[in-house]
Structure 1
Amino acid sequence: MRLLALPAAALLVALVASPALAQPPTTPVPGPRDPGQPPASAGPEQVTHAIGDAGTGLAVVRLAPGSTTTDTILPGFGEQLPKQSAAEIGVGLANAQANTEAFLSYERAVAQAAPLGFAVQGRAPQAPGTLVQTASPDNAAPVTGGLTPPATPLDTLLRVGLLNGSVHARWDEELGPCVSPLADARTSVASLSVLNAIPTLPGSQDLTGMLTEQTPKLDAQAKQSLIDTLKQLGGPLSRLGGLLSGTPDSGATGSLLSLPDTLSANSKVELVDLPGSANKAVRSTSALQVASIRLLQGTPAEIRVDVVSPPTLTALSTGDAATSGVTYTAPVLKVSQGGRELGTLDAANPKLDVPIGVVPGRDLPLVGDLADALDIGVLRLQVAQLNRKDQVLDGPLQQGGPTVKGFMLGATARLLDLQLLPTDALGLPNLPSALAQVSLGEQVVRAAAPTGGVVCGAPTPTQPGPGGGQAAPPKQPLAYTNAAYKTVPIFWAGTVMLLVGVVLVAALPGRHHPAGRGGAPAE
């Protein structure tokens, strides 16, 4: 079944980076090789139309976000698109998808759990080690197991503990997608440490000659003082002056963000009852469960983030804009340091900045209360970043499919977005606006249904047969795809005519000719 998996590496990255209403990542309908060749047949026409997607990533790391131009095949078009990160890596990806319009029957319901997905400058290779289950045919039981993260060039950025996954995809031969669960994917990780180093910062403690002349905040004397202060730190800036170097006494290995408790994600697509109708509505749900998060764990600057209320994101489509909607339970996070509360993150207060500074004579930077320190960076924490998009349907849900009228909506959200930002005092050349970004709990949902709701039924309309049974669907004639279809009948027709001619010649009596020619009597 792993050979049937969609590329796990590109899946979540594509979901979170593209609009929520992008086309589902299923196999497209192949076009004809020659202009005169008829299109490929997708089989009998479906009577049920529904699309749903739910994707959840436990963690997504972005290096230098918004620094790389998007690559396209159209000259100059990449400059008009939003810029991508230099590198992205996702951990614990759970994706559930239902698509009645899929060209391949086993892509009508897909559930997959992937240990990793990564992209470098917008290019996402396929990652192995994915659990996947597809339907049809139906699957009575889910597939569960451990997920082993493959080795990647970005291993120095994070350490992943034991990952577990569970996937379940179903499809009923008579009711189609009207079965529970339709697509369900789960992932969980026991431990996780992210950003053990900051590759966008220099790995040397001596910044002599590296600070630019365009630093407006510092004069020449202040720049030299900053250079001397950074030399006294316990590590280079790429290790945040020693904060990411680890503390052997406490057992901490050094990371900007870590999870001491289990983090789990659940993505689910299902059809639910539509009030006052025998039809169904499409519901896509992304849910997260996490208790606590640590920043700079094991150091004097450790910050504790307690998740008071975990987030849940749901998209429900009934086919009508008036009764469809997105429901989001925004997370509530309490941020504290050394027993002192720094603030609460929720929908009303979505952002909190924690400064990072250096003081002469100290071997570690200060985080939080800087006093007389010179701030060189900022830890920005954000939550409740909900983006929603709606669309009225009046066309095919999939390329080459039938026209469907209805309603589609989608949304994206994040549990916690942690950014490391430089200040004006850190005047290094070619420094991106954001040094690194960690997103915990990336959520994407989408749901589409025709007007009046989803009709439950067999993949093809059936007619009563003799004895009250169901007759088999009528066979469709094959299309002519080349001249061989006409050559074979012509060959056999010519062969038959030749045999008939031989028989006629052999069966007719022989004619008697006179002995002489020209009618002259013989001598």
Structure 2
Amino acid sequence: MRARVVALTLAVGLVGTCAAPAAAGQHALLGTDPATGTDARPDVGAALGDAGTAAALTRLLAGSVPDSSLLPQAADLVSPTRSFEGGIGLSTVSVDTGAELPYERAIARAVPAGTALSARAPATGDSLVRTAPPSEAEPARGKLPPEEGPLAALMRTERLAGQVHARWSVDRGPCVGQVAKATTTSGPISLGAAVASLPDVPFTELGLPGRMPSGSIATLGGLLSGRAGEGPLVRVPRGLTTVATVDVLTAAKRPTVRATSRVEADRIDIFPGSPLAMTATVRNAPALTANSTGKPETSRIVHDTPVVEFKRGGRTLFRLDRTRPARDVPIAVPGRGFAQRGLTSQPIVDGYGVGTNGKPVRLSAANRSRVTELFVLRLSVGGLTTRSATLDEPFTGHQVTGSARLLDVQLLPTDALTDALERDHELPSTLAHFTLGEQAVRAAAPPSGARCGEPGAGEVTIAAPPDEIAPGRSSAPPIRVLLWGGAGLVLLGAYLLAVARPRKQD
């Protein structure tokens, strides 16, 4: 089980935790009797669901950005003791009938960018947020400003738009069908103009035998451009849409809480600025759904595993799906005894070099064994992790959680690179880590199934929620933070340290 995915699942489990409301005025807000302290609130029903989807995430290990990095802005994201996890194009929804404040029962939020450290700090840029009760007839729509801080050095998109909607019934509480929905739609996404964790050192200074590329190891010898938005490691040319929803289904045999995370994408490019670029076509976009009936035997996680096909030109290279979810792509340089005419000095990717005519050239069988692998590009899909548990609060019931992703991209160093740099630079176990379409869901219900509220349960006893969570735009974080829980940050370092390096090449 991948620790990163476990971290996200645990983060979903922590969604229910939030800052305690201020003591002043609590009796009026919560409907309690100040003399006895008894709960005078009406029965608002019983349902709990969360869903979150991120267009793209990136992760950096503490202290992994050297002083000579080609992306010095990335150093502002980490410290010698603090790792970093952040993303763009976030859609999150939360439904909690046990919320103390009425307007927290249903929340939908579209966020341009966020980090694991922003759970209690202002979010980056303006967000779109809707809360209920009371319900609004129409969703809120608007443009979201792209990230302009240090995170933009690692990942950027040209434009973002969001749509959010939250609903609640005065008579039936959460039993309105779709209770909350959030959507973000991006323009082209670029990830990794250079490798932030590598020093700006020429290949020729590694002291390895053979003909070295002329560029820096931080740009993988010209596979990357080193300039934001141009020649990145990963590009999604037509953008990506993230959707998160929570529904309460009362027409089913047993009333069900359903939380769904969807990712919509059609094409992903790897090394798009190089003749060795690979084009990935998404044949089956993933959907991740948590269904809870309150009974373990009928509650489940449903996952449509993505199918991603990689090509170069018109030639199919490989396909990632349920049966083969991962592939390692070696990146090498010519070693001792390598001799093949008509090649430029660019690195060799999965047995292909760049010819002097600018086109990919497959190495001969003899030369494929005479290279020194310095990096491995690890591509993987799915990564489904599920968990079920008995729930005690805000009601007794059964809970299921799940997490998955569309495509995970990791750049790993080999022992050959680590040994060549160990005198002057200590490399992290993962040099770069990007994820497209991160998904997390949670759903819970009492044993009898999702329960509707009694008449009047949706009436709000205060005029409006405070400014930081008011319907419309907001620059503050959501009360429920789905993808950015503390568990994700705590386990991030353990995950990166646990990633196995490729074996040293002889």
- Shorter-chain TM range is 0.7 to 0.9
CA change 1:65–1:440 in 2 (3 A) is farther
Distance 2:134 2:375 in 1: 54
C-alpha displacement of 1:119 = 4.3
1:176 to 173, 178, 187: 173
TM superposition shift of 1:114:
0.6
Aligned partner of residue 154 in structure 1, secondary structure: helix
59-68 vs 188-197, greater mean Cα deviation: 59-68
Per-residue displacement from partner, 1:97-122 (whole Å, max 9, x unpaired)? 10111111111100000111124799
The equivalent of 1:305 in structure 2 is 280
3-state secondary structure, aligned to 2:103: coil
Report the Cα offset of residue 461 of structure 1: 7.5
Query: What CA deviation, in whole Å up to 9, does each residue of 1:136-159 have, x standing for no partner?
Result: 111111000111024211222122
Q: Which residue of 2 aligns with 1:91?
A: 88
The aligned length equals 408
Instruction: Give 2:191's aligned amino acid.
Output: V
C-alpha change, 1:450 and 1:362, in structure 2 (3 Å) is same
| Maintained 8 Å contact 2:108/2:131 | yes
* CA distance in structure 2 between the partners assigned to 1:254 and 1:295 by the alignment: 9
Deviations 1:22-64 (A, max 9, x none): 24254435679xxxx9998876143411110010001101123
Q: Secondary structure at the match of 2:282?
A: strand
Asked if 2 retains the 8 angstrom alpha-carbon contact of 1:61 and 1:89, the reply is: yes
Secondary structure in structure 1 of the residue aligned to 2:99: coil
Residue type at the aligned position of 1:299: S
Residue 225 of structure 1 corresponds to 209
2:326 alignment partner in structure 1: 351
1:369 aligns with 2:351: yes
Task: Output the amino acid matched with 1:128.
Answer: G
The Cα RMSD (Å) is 3.5
> CA deviation digits over 1:296-337, x for unaligned, max 9?
103111011111111111111111111111111111111122
- Report the CA distance shift for 1:300/1:42 in structure 2 as closer, same or farther (over 3 A): farther
2:97 to 96, 100, 107: 100
Amino acid at match of 2:161: N
Q: CA, structure 1 residues 252+150, in 2 after alignment: closer, same or farther (shift >3 Å)?
A: closer
Quick one: which amino acid aligns to residue 391 of structure 1?
A: A
Q: Secondary structure at the match of 2:173?
A: coil
The residue aligned with 1:267 is 244
Residue 455 (structure 1) aligns with:
451
The one-letter code of the counterpart of 1:338 is G
- Per the alignment, residue 482 of structure 2 pairs with none
Which structure: larger Rg? 1
Residues 405/123 of structure 1: CA separation in 2 closer, same or farther (3 Å cut): closer
Say whether 1:418 aligns with 2:395.
no
Structure 2 partner of 1:329: 304
Preserved contact between residue 65 and residue 436 of structure 1 (Cα < 8 Å): no
SS at match of 1:386: strand
- Determine the structure 2 residue equivalent to 1:18: 10
1:440 aligns to what? Answer: 436
Query: Structure 1 residues 333-342 or 382-391, which shifts more?
Result: 333-342
Deviations 1:268-322 (CA, angstroms, capped at 9, x unpaired)? 0010135445xx2100011111111000103111011111111111111111111
- Give the whole-Å Cα distance in 1 for the aligned partners of 2:404 and 2:81: 18
2: CA distance, partners of 1:239 / 1:461: 59
Report the Cα distance in structure 2 between the residues aligned to 1:154 and 1:199, rounded to whole angstroms.
11
**1:391–1:293 CA distance, 2 compared to 1 (3 A):** same
- Shift, 1:373, TM fit: 2.6
CA distance in 1, matches of 2:264, 2:256: 26
Asked if 1:382 is matched to 2:374, the reply is: no
Partner of 1:53: 50
Match of 1:141, SS? coil
Distance in 2 (alpha carbons) for counterparts of 1:15 and 1:98: 21
**Larger relative contact order (Cα-Cα within 8 Å, sequence gap ≥ 6):** 2
The residue aligned with 2:263 is 288
1:199, CA displacement in angstroms? 1.0
Say which SS state the counterpart of residue 396 (structure 2) adopts: strand
Task: Find the counterpart in structure 2 of residue 148 from structure 1.
Answer: 145
Change (3 A) 1:45 1:120: closer
Partner amino acid, structure 1, of 2:263? L
SS in 2 for 1:377: strand
Q: 1:170: Cα distance to partner?
A: 1.0
Amino acid in the other structure paired with 2:319: T
3-state SS of 1:238 partner? helix
Alignment map for 1:477-516 (pairs within 5 Å)? none
Specify the SS of the correspondent of 1:174.
coil
1:211-222 matches, cutoff 5 A = none
Deviations along 1:186-231, whole A, 9 cap, x unmatched?
A: 01112011011111101131674xx6xxxxxxxxxxx4426xx44x
- Render the CA deviation track for 1:164-191: whole Å, top value 9, x for unaligned: 1100011111111111331000011120
| Alpha-carbon spacing, 1:59–1:312, altered in 2? closer, same or farther (3 Å) | same
- CA separation of 1:45/1:348 partners in 2, compared to 1, >3 Å: closer, same or farther? same
CA distance in 1 between counterparts of 2:56 and 2:430 reads 18
> Among residues 230, 237, 256, which one is paired with 2:217 in the alignment?
237
Give the structure 1 partner of residue 76 of structure 2: none
Matches within 5 A, 1:153-164: 153-164=150-161
Q: Which residue of 2 aligns with 1:4?
A: none
- Give the gaps of 5 or more residues in structure 2: 25-33, 66-79, 336-342, 353-367, 462-506
Give the aligned partner of residue 253 of structure 1.
Answer: 230
**Is the CA contact (8 Å cut-off) linking 1:42 and 1:103 kept in structure 2?**
no
The answer to which of 194-203 and 332-341 deviates more is 332-341
Contact 1:119–1:125, Cα closer than 8 Å, also in 2: no
* Superposed displacement of residue 338, structure 1: 3.2
Correspondence for 1:401: none
Using the size of structure 1 for normalisation, the TM-score is 0.71
Q: 2:481 maps to which residue?
A: none
